Structure 1
Amino acid sequence: MLWLFGQLGPYKRQVTFAMLALIVGAMSWLVLGQGVKYVVDQGFVANNAQRLNQLVLVVIGIGLVGSFATYFRFYYMIWLGERVSADIRQNVYSHLLTLSPSFFAATRTGEVISRFTSDTTVLQSVVGMGLSMALRAIVTFIGSLILMMLTSHMLTLYVLIAVPVVLFPIRIFGAKVRVYARNSQDRVADVGAYIDESLHEIQTVQAYTHEQIDKQRFFSRIDGVMEAARKRIQFRALMIASIMGISLLAITLVAWLGAQLVLNSELTAGELTAFMFYAVMAGGSVATISEVIGEIQKAAGASERLMELLQTDSTVQTQAEPILISSKVRGELKLEQVSFYYPTVDETPVLTELNLSINAGERIALVGPSGAGKSTLFQLLLRFYDVQQGQITLDSLPIAQLDINQLRQQFALVSQESVIFACSVFDNIAYGRPNASKDDVIAAAKAARADEFVSEFSEGYETQLGERGVRLSGGQKQRIAIARAILADRPILLLDEATSALDAANEVKVKLALDELMKDKTTIIIAHRLSTVINADRIVVMDKGKIIAIGTHQELVQSNSLYRELAELQLIS
């Protein structure tokens, strides 16, 4: 809870306003009891009707002050709850973008998202309502105890007459609150969907070093939530203030009616005073404190879950003083005695004492059965994981000593299962280079043979593709992903059989584009088709985490039985 309330630190001015409003509001209700006392002593007892009417106006004035103070207390406390919740979401999301895929392999994305939604909502409620209610109830309860002297029968019948009037602001402002609450929830749902997508595709986000851009897009959505929440808070504050003001006015009028009964000797002044103040305020304060204690207990658990996320360190870290790449990367890669196992599974080696040198501009094809370690090699090159033994170098520089962002900016990745985001065609292609012009994006799409189907869409490059690219076929998704890599124009290409989802006609077109793309670039291809490996400079045959043969297609057909078998099966695995 100290951590939670520590989040209020940057908003000292708003906290001060809220506390002042709280104190003024609570004191006005307590002073109201003194006003009642003077009404009794100087109006009832003295039988002075003129003085009585004057004091009734004073009491109404005190009540209005309390109502205004309640509005500001309610507004600022609810705003603080929303703001703290938004800050926590921003901090947690920014931190999650830095975590390695090993965290997401061990943690369900849905569980993480629930912490963004349900847990932060609990904290928002405690800061916005619970804290305010608790402080007000404590001040009121203490004041009630000090001022409480006598009790009396309550004039319940008179109070019930005011109920229909109290329902009026609920009907007027409540309708507005419902509209803005719906809008606010829709925006929160949009935030949740964005979180789910970006974290689900975290490898693509990190491979293209898109963390800062995703962070800014997420922040803009959070600002939209805050704007929707501001209007909802405003009308809710008006509703609460109006209800309290009308209630106070009603009680005051009931008291005035009771005063008439006192003047007529039908009630005693003590009975009226007790009804006006002590019994209601003391009992209500105790009930409020009891309710808030339960909310604080829920908030403590929610805070703990969120702190867990914030305190989780990435298993892949940039060194304090990383080696910076100062010149253009040639693309020479070398693996020396590399052994690796996934830390989230067990210590069974996925790669064992791997040695491989890849020259700058060379095309290497990786072939082998499923589980041979081909995809793992891609993940190690991008430093999604660190090796347990050996080292990988880029242009003779150990990648473990390079800045992670700089390292990943040397690679363009095209996965076998193309990643399409729920945005426009333009934004999907520009993901590879966010500052690219429209002409650059169109040129990349043409090179990937994607322009021919994009131009048929009614909205062209502004066409929204839907979640996971539901509006595209498998081949179209693949060509969008290839266009993204072409636009990125990075010195090293990692292609996980980039033509696997294409039919024969489209495959020929895209291969021409890939041939152009691969010129003067180091290219590593996970190959599943014979037509892919034939054009490689060298073929690396892998099995059970080891390299068992390296050579050209003709050499391996003659010298390696596993490769010969894979070739006969068209290398499909």
Structure 2
Amino acid sequence: MTSNRWQAVLKTAAFLKPYKLSLSFSLAALFLTAGITLSLGQGIRLMVDRGFATQSPDLLTRYVLVFLLLVVLLAIGTFTRYYWVTWLGERVIADIRRKVFAHLIELHPGFFEANRSLEIQSRLTADMTLLQSVVGSSISVALRNLIMLAGGIVWLFITNVKLTVIVMLSIPLVIVPILLFGRRVRVLSRQSQDRVAAVGAYVGEMLGQIKTVQAYNHQAMDKMHFDQYVEDAFHIARQRTLQRAWLIAVVIVLVFGAIGMMLWVGGMDVIEGKISGGELAAFVFYSIIIGSAVGSISEVLGELQRAAGAAERTMELLEEPSQISSPVDPRQLPAVTGNIVFQRVCFAYPSRPEIQVINDFSLAVRPGETLALVGLSGAGKSTLFDLLLRFYDVRSGCISLEGVNIRDLDLSDLRRSFALVSQNPVLFHGSIEQNLRYACPDASDAEIEMAAKAAFIHDFIVSLPQGYQTSLGDTGLGLSGGQKQRLAITRAILADAPVLLLDEATSALDSQSEHWVQQAITRLSTGRTTIVIAHRLSTILTSDRIALIHHGRLEALGTHVELMESSELYARLAIAQFQIPG
């Protein structure tokens, strides 16, 4: 096992620290059950030598009762061990899941640009299930069998040294294949986990876009692609299973072959009177205990190696640094009026570092104004929103809010200053009320209704059978574009932020939906600084100023009338995009 994997295992084990008492109960029960199991061998020896051999009913009864008492204690110990070990597995994995999710949700969006979120999700579920099985079962089995192995060897030496030597000679023969096959299993286990994660990611992607899949009659092709993913996963799993099967088979042959040899030698000694029948019976019992322990350890070893891989991948997620974070000593943010300044900002996305999306961009936004951003697709308009919210950091230059560099502000304070309404609003699985409370969890029912009325969506909501408690499907399936937009605007109203960022919501709506959404936007932007990415003529005509962006640069700035006269590029764009007569 590589050093990185060992470190990952140790870091995973650190999650056990808060539960030392439960761990102590588990270990105590583990040692108790192992000790009792080993004591059963002596109970068998006494029953054979002093019960059966003496033909005394009293002695036989006594030793059978002792044997039954040990069995009862073994049952109690096994119950305790199983409960606490399983509890620990569930508790520790719950803690790891919570910590991983808490870390992932704080990571910068650039991380998810470079890593498929659906694959991360699959790993978080599949790897956690594997770790849960190992922490709550396999580790206990491995420890118990290690104790049984060590204790059994000690009792073998106590019982008969000559027979023990025969058994011990087989141990190196068993260890070699474990090491040989174990290395192969470890590599294949990591590959298998990757393939399973890819299967989960593909399923999530296809089901999440099921309308597009069916609209283009792409089911047959997607089935073929999925079959390939599944077959790849199966192929690796088959190889891993084959290696483990060989390992178990070889161990069984070697271990029980040694036991067979020992039985022959021991049987000859009983015939010659060198040892008693009870000693041979006890020796056979301990030999079987050792053989079973070695077999179980070899079988569990594959699970432990897979779990080590899962632990390594989980720790990789936990240790992934977020490139966007609050400063150690953030500056106090003054009252926000919407005084925003972009000063010689340059930026390129981490996944495309050679392409400069924003290039030497400078612009001052005035408090209380409505500023429209216009430009061809890919000009960098939406990227400015990403930079303003610090989803990414600028490469050079700076962005200031109320005269303070946004990198010097606490992220929560910064983002609390903005209400974002995107062109494709995001709605979550849950009720309408839960979606609206997303921006303001403490909002009262009256405040929610007031915001919904302001967004012209209240009447539609109360017309639904369950009103505000109506459950929405994933991403708001079943709602029209205008209804989604007005719900998003309601959420922005509840956020009550001083600056509104609007990736204009009316570009893909019919005229009636556009009318209601535009009315809601007008109410929302009143008294606020508004920056809007404009796609409609109505927006640019009602804006105080218009910024024309071209290839990441500020090409022109002014009112619609001013830009029509001073900027040839704007005039061409207005004629083409906004249907303005030339």
Q: Do Structure 1 and Structure 2 share a fold, with TM-score over 0.5?
A: yes
| Deviation, structure 1 residue 365 | 0.2
Q: Distance in 2 between matches of 1:67 and 1:344?
A: 58
Taking a change above 3 Å as real, the CA distance of residues 110 and 512 of structure 1, as seen in their structure-2 partners, is closer
Is 1:70 paired with 2:78? yes
| Deviation, structure 1 residue 276 | 7.1
| Deviation, structure 1 residue 102 | 0.6
Q: Distance in 2 between matches of 1:18 and 1:271?
A: 32
Q: Distance in 2 between matches of 1:323 and 1:146?
A: 67
Superposition pairs of residues 351-370 of structure 1, within 5 angstroms: 351-370=358-377
Q: Distance in 1 between matches of 2:500 and 2:535?
A: 17
Report the number of matched residues: 462
Superposition pairs of residues 414-429 of structure 1, within 5 angstroms: 414-429=421-436
**Number of the residue aligned with 1:112:** 120
Aligned residue type for 1:138: L
Q: Give the one of 103, 126, 134 matched to 2:111.
A: 103
Q: Distance in 2 between matches of 1:439 and 1:91?
A: 36
| Deviation, structure 1 residue 145 | 2.1
| Deviation, structure 1 residue 272 | 7.8
Q: Give the one of 87, 90, 106 matched to 1:79.
A: 87
Aligned residue type for 1:33: G
Superposition pairs of residues 117-266 of structure 1, within 5 angstroms: 117-148=125-156, 149=159
Is 1:522 paired with 2:529? yes
**Secondary structure at the counterpart of residue 471 of structure 2:** coil
Q: Distance in 2 between matches of 1:525 and 1:540?
A: 10
Is 1:488 paired with 2:495? yes
Taking a change above 3 Å as real, the CA distance of residues 401 and 103 of structure 1, as seen in their structure-2 partners, is same
Aligned residue type for 2:286: Y
Render the CA deviation track for 1:145-196: whole Å, top value 9, x for unaligned: 22234799xxxxxxxxxxxxxxxxxxxxxxxxxxxxxxxxxxxxxxx99xx8
**Number of the residue aligned with 2:305:** 297
Is 1:541 paired with 2:557? no
Render the CA deviation track for 1:216-272: whole Å, top value 9, x for unaligned: xxxxxxxxxxxxxxxxxxxxxxxxxxxxxxxxxxxxxxxxxxxxxxxxxxxx84498
Q: Distance in 2 between matches of 1:359 and 1:411?
A: 15
Q: Give the one of 85, 93, 96 matched to 1:88.
A: 96
Is 1:348 paired with 2:374? no
| Deviation, structure 1 residue 500 | 2.5
Is 1:34 paired with 2:34? no
Q: Distance in 2 between matches of 1:419 and 1:324?
A: 31
| Deviation, structure 1 residue 110 | 1.7
Taking a change above 3 Å as real, the CA distance of residues 100 and 92 of structure 1, as seen in their structure-2 partners, is same
Aligned residue type for 1:510: V
| Deviation, structure 1 residue 497 | 0.6
| Deviation, structure 1 residue 410 | 0.2
**Stretches of structure 1 lacking an aligned partner (at least 5 in a row):** 153-191, 201-267
**Number of the residue aligned with 1:282:** 290
Q: Give the one of 502, 505, 521 matched to 2:512.
A: 505
Deviates more, 1:74-83 or 1:18-27: 74-83
Aligned residue type for 2:578: L
Aligned residue type for 2:444: S
CA RMSD of superposed structures (Å):
2.2
Q: Is the 8 A contact 1:478 1:501 kept in 2?
A: no
Is 1:462 paired with 2:469? yes
**TM-score, structure 1 normalization:** 0.77
**Secondary structure at the counterpart of residue 103 of structure 1:** helix
Is 1:445 paired with 2:452? yes
| Deviation, structure 1 residue 486 | 1.1
**Secondary structure at the counterpart of residue 421 of structure 1:** coil
Q: Distance in 1 between matches of 2:466 and 2:312?
A: 47
Is 1:565 paired with 2:572? yes
Aligned residue type for 1:295: E
**TM-score, structure 2 normalization:** 0.76
Q: Is the 8 A contact 2:45 2:282 kept in 1?
A: no
Q: Distance in 1 between matches of 2:395 and 2:545?
A: 27
Q: Distance in 1 between matches of 2:283 and 2:470?
A: 67
Give the fraction of aligned pairs with identical amino acids, expressed as a percent.
47
| Deviation, structure 1 residue 495 | 0.3
Q: Is the 8 A contact 1:527 1:571 kept in 2?
A: no
Q: Is the 8 A contact 1:25 1:69 kept in 2?
A: yes
**Number of the residue aligned with 1:398:** 405
Q: Give the one of 10, 13, 38 matched to 2:18.
A: 10
| Deviation, structure 1 residue 389 | 1.0
Aligned residue type for 2:19: Y
| Deviation, structure 1 residue 274 | 4.6
| Deviation, structure 1 residue 275 | 8.5
Q: Is the 8 A contact 1:533 1:539 kept in 2?
A: yes
Q: Is the 8 A contact 2:45 2:279 kept in 1?
A: no
**Number of the residue aligned with 2:271:** none
**Secondary structure at the counterpart of residue 7 of structure 1:** helix
Aligned residue type for 1:552: T
**Number of the residue aligned with 2:231:** none
| Deviation, structure 1 residue 31 | 1.1
Aligned residue type for 1:419: V
**Secondary structure at the counterpart of residue 98 of structure 1:** coil
Q: Distance in 2 between matches of 1:108 and 1:343?
A: 15
Q: Distance in 1 between matches of 2:471 and 2:518?
A: 27
**Number of the residue aligned with 1:383:** 390
Q: Distance in 2 between matches of 1:128 and 1:458?
A: 45
Q: Is the 8 A contact 2:29 2:77 kept in 1?
A: yes
